[in-house]
Structure 1
Amino acid sequence: MLRLVLPKGSLERATLELFEAADLPVQRNSSVDYQATIDDPRIDSVRILRPQEIPTYVAEGLFDIGITGRDWVEETGSVVESLGELKYSKNTARPIRMVVAVAGDSTAASVKDLPDGVRVQTEYLESTRRFFEANGVEADIRLSYGATEAKIPDIADCVVEITETGRALRAAGLKVIDTILTSYTEVVANPIAHADPDKRKAMEQVMTLLNGVLDARGKVLLKLNVDDEHKDAVLAVLPSMKSPTVSPLSDGGYAVESVIEKSTINLVIPDLRDAGATDLLEMPISKIVP
């Protein structure tokens, strides 16, 4: 049914973990194999390639669906259908940013403060060219093959790089003066494949599974019992995604269930116990599908 392409490199581990959690485990002979399979009737084949290439290959119809970053969709100008963002990146759930950075002691506060002829090193030639042109700055833009942040000041006056936390740029003594774009990991589809009703349904179902895993991350299911006397006090303390589920018990009182943030559980459980809740049970959640 679907020809799927997944990203190799920095997004690879997080992507494979996501598919595993979505009950779509990717099987391959070795960690360096570019071909893989998923034992699911909706997925016909799987390739693992660099995210830089994926938007172009999907747009050309070599694959029906792929996972890449919005940065590479914009850089390549590929015409694809977006099926939605997946809120994860290399190390965190935060997006990456494509930024303009200069030496920490530079007086420039934005790209407009840079002089014509400024030397720029980047992997993102087209995005950088468009951004500098839009800001009226004539720049000498060169392709960087890596270690871009190390090229200031002798090789470049500024760099355009992606950053998730900004840590590497700060460690190199650089400061960010502008953001070109913010990019989450994104699922993109070939427009012709997306127009096919059967393939579009398969795409939507795969997205349901992937988003269900991401929505469940950082959340737990909390179950508890409470009697009539303490019900209102307990519900006043209990957070929930929407509203808690409350069911009467056969011998009186109520069973209550709620999905809450894992990060708050150490505060919520003692407060619920003090409010009169009993038999509290915390359970992990693998997927949440609204």
Structure 2
Amino acid sequence: MLKIVLPKGSLEKATLELFEAADLKVRRDSAVQYKASIVDPRVDEVRILRPQEIPQYVSEGLFDLGITGRDWVEETASSVESLGEMHYSKATSDPVRIIVAVPQASEVESVADLPQGVRVSSEYPELTRRFFAERGIEADIRLSYGATEAKVPDIVDCIVDITETGRALRAAGLKIIDTILVSYTELIVNPESLANPEKAHAMRQLKTLLDGVLEARGKVLVKLNVPKDRLEDLIALLPSMKAPTVNELFGEAGYAVETVVPKATINVLIPALSDAGATDIIEIPIAKIVH
């Protein structure tokens, strides 16, 4: 039913891990294969291609849905619909930013300070052209094929580049003077496919699985028993997504409590629960959380 295109390159590993955790394992003969498959009745075909190309192919209807960054949707001005952001990326769960940067020693503090005819290097020529044109700045835009930050100040005056943590820019002696776009990874779909009720239902079902994995990341299920007279004190210790589940134990021997908590706090939480009278404490990994 569905033709899916997934990103090759920096997002590839994280995307394949996400799909496997969602029980949508992507199968291919080798790590360099572009054709793949998912054993699922909703999926007919899978391709793994560069994220720069994905918005256009989805827009043209060659694929029903794909994963790429908002940056490439905007760069290619592709007519696609978004089923929502997927908050994961190659280094962190933070979004990437398309920024304008100049040398740290430059007197330029904002885009308005840049001169007419400013030389700009970028892997996003169309996005860059529109950005400067909207601000009335004539820019000499040079397409970059990588190592963009290495081209100032000798080759160009400023760059438009992507950053996730900012480390590479700082290491190159650059400072950010503006942000053009904040970009998350997105699940994009072809508008005609979304208008097809059967395909739309299948696509949203797949997104439910993927979202469930992302929601569960960094969380664990904690189960424990507690005497009746210690219940309220113990509940006060529990950070939870919602109210904890509390059930009375057989024979009125106390209560069984369970709740979802952040994994990052578990090393402090479990000893505190034990001190508060909890027994039989169990920590359980969570694969998915579907609301």
For these two proteins, the number of residue pairs brought into alignment is: 290
Query: CA–CA distance in 1 between the matches of 2:42 and 2:210?
Result: 14
Kindly indicate whether residue 202 of structure 2 is the aligned counterpart of residue 195 of structure 1: no
Shift of 1:134: 2.0
Shift of 1:137: 1.8
> Matched residue of 2:94: which SS?
coil
**2:273 alignment partner in structure 1:** 272
> Matched residue of 1:84: which SS?
strand
Q: How does 1:3-152 map to 2 (within 5 A)?
A: 3-152=3-152
Percent of pairs identical after alignment? 68
Query: CA–CA distance in 2 between the matches of 1:132 and 1:188?
Result: 27
**1:2 alignment partner in structure 2:** 2
Q: Which moved more, 1:126-135 or 1:24-33?
A: 126-135
Query: CA–CA distance in 2 between the matches of 1:46 and 1:186?
Result: 17
Query: CA–CA distance in 2 between the matches of 1:118 and 1:100?
Result: 12
Query: CA–CA distance in 2 between the matches of 1:262 and 1:110?
Result: 41
Query: CA–CA distance in 2 between the matches of 1:289 and 1:172?
Result: 43
**2:254 alignment partner in structure 1:** 253
Any conservation in 2 of the 1:247–1:254 contact (CA below 8 Å)?
Answer: yes
Q: How does 1:234-249 map to 2 (within 5 A)?
A: 234-249=234-249
Query: CA–CA distance in 2 between the matches of 1:20 and 1:264?
Result: 26
Kindly indicate whether residue 158 of structure 2 is the aligned counterpart of residue 158 of structure 1: yes
Counterpart code for 1:187 = L
Shift of 1:135: 2.2
> Where does the alignment leave 5 or more consecutive residues of structure 2 unmatched?
none
Q: TM-score, normalised by structure 2?
A: 0.98
Shift of 1:196: 0.5
Q: TM-score, normalised by structure 1?
A: 0.99
CA deviations on 1:85-121 (whole Å, 9 max, x unpaired) are 1000111111110011110111112211111111100
Question: Alignment RMSD, CA only?
Answer: 0.8
CA deviations on 1:209-231 (whole Å, 9 max, x unpaired) are 00000000000001111111000
CA deviations on 1:158-183 (whole Å, 9 max, x unpaired) are 10011110111111111111110111
Any conservation in 2 of the 1:112–1:136 contact (CA below 8 Å)?
Answer: no
Runs of 4+ in structure 1 over 2 Å off: none
Shift of 1:200: 0.4
Shift of 1:140: 0.8
